[in-house]
Structure 1
């Protein structure tokens, strides 16, 4: 690979120019994650796969829904059956997503996806339910059909996590399809917290997985917590840096009090944010208020091979 070609990767451009990934995680209330064999062609995933009902719901306006495919794994997968995860926001103030997992016959896959989307009774599916609430799931995007950067940089991160950290009883690591932000490849989602990471480097993976290093080491890799929206995520990162790892156990809720109306809401120049939290044992609770505003811009490429554009960067004042 020539230096010229290497610099065409969107994530290389983003990282070289110092783009801060915070605030780029999609705010989500429900995740539908389905085990599907490769290759994941975009049009087939959307129009002709067991995930099609979820993508249809997204097209119809369910902006707080995300659908993801995961690749079968020789250790986790069972022939003839397909694994389905549903992660849902349990309440307004929360710390992590509620997990449901099912192992269903392949010919019943679309039916259970539809049932989960419609939130109908799941009595019929109880026989397929798996008691795996204790298992942490890490999904690494390697979806080269969407952007080559995800395959080029995501695959080595997946392989290292899978080989050095995965245990069937406590932590499973999966290759997954696109969930946004390939300019931050390699990128992953950590469940059940719903934290999203980007611009990952192999040396910081122990800190991310084991959570035994100062959180400040992970600051520049944090894309945000998907329980919050963009500007709320920017404030949440600062509070996490102050509180340390215990912050992940705190119930949190964010709110935009006021915002620049001259620009698109996602691209606003400023926002006033209110973020409240409560410790799970009731020992502490508080409300933080902060102003987030533009502090400059950097050049970044949204997709590999495309021309770089100016992207706003933010700070808390």
Structure 2
């Protein structure tokens, strides 16, 4: 969805409406390379590590484990807050997003405490298999974390419901999720295991993204970036994809390498290389979430896509 959604109100007040007026999407995805998603239909709290979801003791243990492993923990639930089946266990997805070793697996635990027994060493070893059964994906996570920001609840829940109700094999792997990073880009969506993040998506944009990724291509509407790269790297990859739009570059074809703080080299699997100069520029201060005090915000811009 384009910035026009912010003009629906005469005076935009929600953080996502204000952001859509002038803030570009490329280079805004959270920098994450490995994911652990736990089905948790009980209340999440404002922060998943504030003790609401797991209690203080287990929260501290889980946070220490995922932080040490370099993994992002996400809480997920079925769209519509369907009642959990106490006898069916809780779904757990494990994923890594780097294009050279992208992978996703699924397993089941009885309680959140069982996560303490799940092997997380795969996050640091690209050759290590993920525990559980391989999932070919895509796994779609739509942020609906209303206790963190109202935009996620208002804008995210209809998108999650529409995707889950679609007549498509990927519908069974659609989940509402906790904070993804970037309330002001709501509706916000992450597609695992690739880690591509989308923002300001309509239901049609979201469905097209999931269908495209399932088919091995990457729709560009609402695309924020691939989580395994830093913000300049995300913007650089998307610039190369736009440059090669006619080729319909497959998902895991491009890798990004840093050449200093403001230069990225994007490498195609066929050997082609491009250098992209980036710059980070300030935008007027704005609230990162609804009700928060304004703070400085920056945007990543890219220069020419120069073949090497």
Q: TM-score, normalised by structure 1?
A: 0.75
Partners of 1:193 and 1:216 lie apart in 2 by: 10
Give the counterpart of 1:141 among 135, 140, 143: 143
- Give SS of 2:18's match: helix
| Equivalent residue runs for 1:213-292 within 5 Å | 218-219=220-221, 221-244=222-245, 246-259=248-261, 271-278=262-269, 284-292=270-278
CA shift for structure 1 position 286:
1.8
Who is 1:67 aligned against? 73
- Taking the aligned partners of 1:51 and 1:5, their CA distance within structure 2 comes to 43
Match of 1:117 in 2: 120
Kept in 1, the 8 Å contact 2:143–2:179? The answer is yes
Gaps of 5+ in 1: 121-125, 260-270, 279-283
Instruction: Return the alpha-carbon distance in structure 1 between the equivalents of residues 109 and 11 of structure 2.
Output: 42
Question: What are structure 2's unaligned runs of at least 5 residues?
Answer: 1-7, 124-128, 304-308
Tell me the SS of whatever aligns to 1:285.
coil
CA shift for structure 1 position 164: 2.1
Evaluate the alpha carbon distance shift between residue 225 and residue 165 of structure 1 in structure 2; reply closer, same or farther with a 3 A threshold: farther
In structure 2, the residue matched to 1:316 is 302
CA RMSD of aligned residues (A): 3.5
CA contact (8 A) 1:166 1:172 kept: no
SS in 1 for 2:26: coil
Structure 2 residue aligned with 1:22: 26
Off by >4 Å, runs of 4+ in structure 1: 3-6, 46-52, 72-78
User: Residue in 2 aligned with 1:56?
Assistant: 64
Alignment coverage as a number of residue pairs:
281
CA contact (8 A) 2:282 2:296 kept: no
Q: Which has the higher helix share?
A: 1
Deviations 1:99-146 (A, max 9, x none): 12102333xx433444333459xxxxx9x9334x23321010000111
For residues 313 and 89 of structure 1, the distance between their equivalents in structure 2, rounded to whole angstroms, comes to 23
- One of 292, 295, 298 as aligned partner of 1:306: 292
